[in-house]
Amino acid sequence: MARADYPEPVKGLIDELKRMPGVGPRSAERIALWLLQNPKAQPGALAGAIEQAASAVTSCPICGFFATVEGCPVCSDHSRDPGIMCVVEEATDVLPIERSGAFKGLYHCLGGKLSPLDNVTPDDLRIGLLVKRLAEMPGAEVVLAVGADVEGEATANYLAEILQGSDCSVTRLAQGLPAGGDLEHADALTVSRAFEGRRGLS
């Protein structure tokens, strides 16, 4: 007697689902069975949404954010301040900044960060395009909003260097204690950067 198992299409679905980030074998099985058994699951709608998004969503050729045939929601918004450009690593970094409401200018997504260990060199990032865009934005401010990790530091230093000759002013996001963070749980590097960046109370 062979032990009964799910039919092949169910196993295939579980295999596909468990490739998703954060979804393990147990969750994949649970989701698959929910899709097949729950009358509210509407597997067709999920499959349709995946295919629709995969075919309709592209990368904006100018800034690198998500775009559709209707254009890029950032580059096509002419009410944005054209004198300030925020440089981020990935397109996914734009949304947290937009949600903060702290920035109203343009974006440039590099498509990664410098990482010799992963063979990511300046040629792999959208740096040439950045320089070209900035050449058409005389006197602009460039905010380097890359991560505070080693690769982010390297990327920021590299960009600061190649932008040195231009007439842009280059700034970098502040590093320090996160909002709501207490000193007790802050790591030494965070505390040391919070000290370096301390400001006078006006």
Per CB under 8 A, 118 contacts a copy of itself: no
Per CB under 8 A, 139 contacts a copy of itself: no
DSSP string, the chain: -PPP---HHHHHHHHHHTTSTT--HHHHHHHHHHHHH-TT--HHHHHHHHHHHHHH-EE-TTT-SEEBTTB-TTTT-TTS-TTEEEEESSGGGHHHHHHHT---SEEEE-SS--BGGGTB-GGGTTHHHHHHHHHTSTT-EEEE---SSHHHHHHHHHHHHHTTTSS-EEEE---SPPTT--GGG--HHHHHHHHHT-----
Per CB under 8 A, 23 contacts a copy of itself: yes
Binding residues for a copy of itself, total number by CB under 8 A: 66
Q: Which stretch binds a copy of itself (CB under 8 A): 90-98, 146-154, 157-165, 171-179?
A: 90-98
Least separation in angstroms between CB 128 and a copy of itself: 21
Site residues for a copy of itself per CB under 8 A = 1-10, 12-13, 15-17, 19-23, 27, 30-37, 40-54, 56-57, 65-68, 70, 73-74, 77, 79-80, 90-92, 94-95, 98-99, 101, 104, 107
